[in-house]
Chains A and B, each alone.
Chain A
Amino acid sequence: MAVAAKDVQSGTDYKFGFHDEEDYVFKSQRGLNEQIIRDISAHKKEPEWMTKFRLRAYKHFLNRPLPNWGGDVSDIDFDNIFYYIKPAAEQGKTWGDVPEYIKETFDKLGIPEAERKFLAGVSAQYESEVVYHSIREDLEKMGVVFTDMDTGLREHGDVVKKYFGTVIPPNDNKFASLNSAVWSGGSFVWVPAGVKVEIPLQAYFRINAENMGQFERTLIIAEPGSFVHYVEGCTAPIYSTDSLHSAVVELIALEGARIRYTTIQNWSNNVYNLVTKRALAYRDATVEWVDCNLGSKLTMKYPAVYLMEPGAHGEVLSVAMAGAGQHQDAGAKMVHVAPNTTSIITSKSIAKGGGRTTYRGLVKAYNGAHDVKSKVRCDALLMDDESQSDTYPYMDIEDEKVDVGHEATVSKVGEDQLFYLMSRGLTEAEATNMIVNGFIEPIAKELPMEYAVELNRLVQLEMSGSVG
């Protein structure tokens, strides 16, 4: 039932560009109004507070202007987007319950296989809804909650109500407002105190329909002393018109907890990826964002950690890669609210074939946030003369006893480097891959082996065609 990518739009190596024909339970009309929001909420049988939350957020969305910085979002036609599509009546507990055509898609993406091999739990979202969900029994017995956000709201309403929208308020920015109004799917993770989930939980997001808007909402709460590693992956078909992915991800790491959130995003080149990700780290807690941005037409994403109490540590490791017609405007924010907090930002970007990468970051230390240490390092690699890389490292330091370091490098893959490697038998393409893989090695080595392999493979795929 899947249609190969080349039937839709040829001339690219994007492997996940196929799409399925649509056979949906519910698909909203194009565009957005209050009634559609009420319909989504009613369809999901949500409590009244959530319906009101959505409607309030919708007002914020209407009132806020589009951002006039970062990438160009002026071409997004909000009236042409499908805001809610429900592909299946029921969520599958086993892959056998999932409609055949959707299962085939996830099979192609290798998700069931990955689940068998090395995951503690899997969530698979197709369009607006999570169609498959599982968690290992032993984790469930320990009280770990890993479910889709809608189920989380139904089954853990009090906890959701306590935290939902507190890290990223619905009026934070235009796209967070939009997400808050029309959100659907995403993950709810709640790890009890002291429980360490040693192997990753993975969520997989797939856009299928043309002009689809995907607005998943993820909330992760790590109770004191707990640990969880959450991984998300994303793909979409190739269409000639654009889709919008606008997620909101809120993380809360309570005292001594650690959350690692890894993204391996591989959107097709017609997706606007405008995502708000923010974490609160309390006393001695650690939050790490490992953010790998491949694909998309435009990505604007700046994972943030608010260091709320002494001892908190935040870290962002990011890789961005932009090819022809792509702009990766990515970075990180570290907000030191409390004294004795530390943060590290490591950003690596690769631009080729006229692509554009931007590092945009903020390190802020409030007055009173003394003995703060922050280290920012951004490296850009340009594959040719047409590509572009810019760095905007904002610093806003109110306290005097703050140690902030910033280093930035821009390098171009040089003739001498290629010649050296080629003189050892590597072809030009192999030599280029080796240089690029070496460049992202500091990030790749932080990933579990399977994901590091995947990242290197994706980068290699993006690189092919860049050398003649």
Chain B
Amino acid sequence: MSEPSLLIDNLHVTVEGREILRGVNLTVPRGETHALMGPNGSGKSTLAYTLMGHPKYKVTAGKVLWKGQSLLDLTPDQRAKSGLFLAFQYPVTVPGVSMVNFLRQSLRAVRGKEVAVRDFRKDLKSAMDVLKMDNQFVTRYLNDGFSGGEKKRAEMLQMAMLKPEMAILDETDSGLDIDALRIVSEGVNSLAGPELGVLIITHYQRILNYIKPQHVHVLYRGRVIVSGGPELVGRLENEGYDNIIKEFGPADDDAPQAAA
């Protein structure tokens, strides 16, 4: 196993006074693809937002190390500059700002220097080809009037352009039809590897037919109740969450949780 790239240790997070994450432990080694699965309300998106630094999510205990450094003191833009990326479940609309303008500005911000127009165009073209996006797509305003599928593709395009070291995909599969899911997955697969670690957050196993994780973690009521290999995905598909929760979940809600 290679060095841990992202290490989450006993993470507790509250949102508007309610504790959602109650001691999450999770490690993603450099360049690996992991899946974080769980039923609705288990805290999956909370973990994603917390890792990226949304101000609404308050860390009350625990720590997160990213490449050996504490992540939690960094602002969201500093996290992005350090190589972290979050693909949003619900990307936000910014009217009046074209995709291409946005991509260029954020690329400049992340790299900390101007990007040559010719290189930018070349990278953009090839990323859009992989995602089967129309040329004029990038002239549209950021997420403005995009369909669900277009938004998800736009997120993948941003990931491809920004070239992070670790990407958290927050329910990137939701709202995608089967063709779009395949295209988006191919986009992820073309990037995942030694250069890019991926944490796929999903409710369903569907996307995992296309993107094969090395490890799978199940989140339930704010804790990771079990971690395992890809075979966990098969079990979830066949048995649903109920059996897994029965086997690995807490006896009752307030019972102390053993590390998975």
Interface residues in chain A, defined as those with a beta carbon under 8 Å from any beta carbon in chain B: 415-417, 419-428, 430-431, 434-435, 437-442
Contacts and interface: CB of A to CB of B under 8 A. Distances in A.
Contacts of B76: 419, 422-423
B194 interface: no
Interface stretch (B5-13, B24-32, B103-111, B172-180): B103-111
A440 B96 contact: yes
A6 B126 CA distance: 52
A439 B141 CA distance: 11
A51 B77 CA distance: 64
Interface string B59-86: 0000000000000000111011100011
Contact of B54 (A419, A434, A435): A419
B42 interface: no
Q: Which 8 residue pairs are nearest across A and B when measured between Cβ atoms?
A: A438-B96, A441-B96, A425-B109, A424-B106, A438-B97, A425-B110, A422-B76, A425-B80
Nearest to B84: A423
B258 interface: no
A440 B110 CA distance: 25
B77 A425 contact: yes
A424 B55 contact: no
A423 B52 contact: yes
Contacts of A417: 92, 94
Interface core residue of A424, A427, A438, A441 (most chain B CB under 10 Å): A424
B78 to A, nearest CB: 9
Interface core residue of B86, B102, B106, B142 (most chain A CB under 10 Å): B106
25 contacts: A420-B94, A422-B75, A422-B77, A422-B80, A423-B52, A423-B88, A424-B109, A424-B110, A424-B158, A425-B77, A425-B106, A425-B162, A426-B105, A426-B109, A427-B75, A427-B77, A428-B75, A430-B77, A430-B109, A431-B77, A434-B94, A438-B96, A438-B97, A438-B142, A439-B96
B44 to A, nearest CB: 17
B125 interface: no
B75 A435 contact: no
A438 B95 contact: yes
Contacts of B142: 438
Nearest to B92: A420
A434 B97 contact: yes
A434 B109 contact: no
A419 B55 contact: yes
Helix, strand, loop or mixed for chain A's interface?
A: helix
Given A424-B162, A425-B106, A442 B96 contact: yes
Contacts of A437: 96-97
A441 B54 contact: no
A435 to B, nearest CB: 6
State which size class the interface on B falls in.
20 to 34
Interface string B16-57: 000000000000000000000000000000000000111110
A431 B109 CA distance: 11
Nearest to A431: B77
Contacts of A421: 94, 106
Contacts of A442: 96
Contacts of A427: 75, 77, 109
Interface string B231-247: 00000000000000000
A424 B88 contact: no
Interface string B89-124: 001101111000010011101100000000000000
A137 to B, nearest CB: 38
Given A424-B80, A430-B105, A438 B75 contact: no
A290 B46 CA distance: 45
B55 A426 contact: no
Interface string B135-147: 0000001100000
B254 to A, nearest CB: 32
A428 B78 CA distance: 11
Contacts of B105: 426, 430, 434
Nearest to B112: A425
Interface core residue of A415, A428, A437, A438 (most chain B CB under 10 Å): A438
A349 to B, nearest CB: 14
A431 B91 CA distance: 15
B158 A420 contact: no
A39 B169 CA distance: 76
A420 B91 contact: yes
Contacts of A430: 77, 105, 109
A72 to B, nearest CB: 32
A364 B76 CA distance: 50
B94 A425 contact: no
Nearest to B111: A425
A362 B23 CA distance: 60
Interface in B131-189: 141-142, 158, 162
A415 B79 contact: no
B221 to A, nearest CB: 25
Contacts of A419: 52-55, 76, 92
A439 B95 contact: yes
Given A422-B76, A422-B77, A425-B109, A438 B158 contact: no
Contact of A415 (B55, B81, B91, B141): B55
A151 B240 CA distance: 87
Nearest to A426: B109
Contacts of B91: 420
A441 B97 contact: yes
A287 B140 CA distance: 29
Interface core residue of A422, A425, A427, A434 (most chain B CB under 10 Å): A425
A435 B162 CA distance: 20
A155 B28 CA distance: 81
Nearest to B54: A419
A9 to B, nearest CB: 34
Given A424-B158, A425-B162, A426-B109, A416 B92 contact: yes
Nearest to B108: A425
Nearest to B82: A425
Contacts of A422: 53, 75-77, 80
Contacts of B110: 424-425
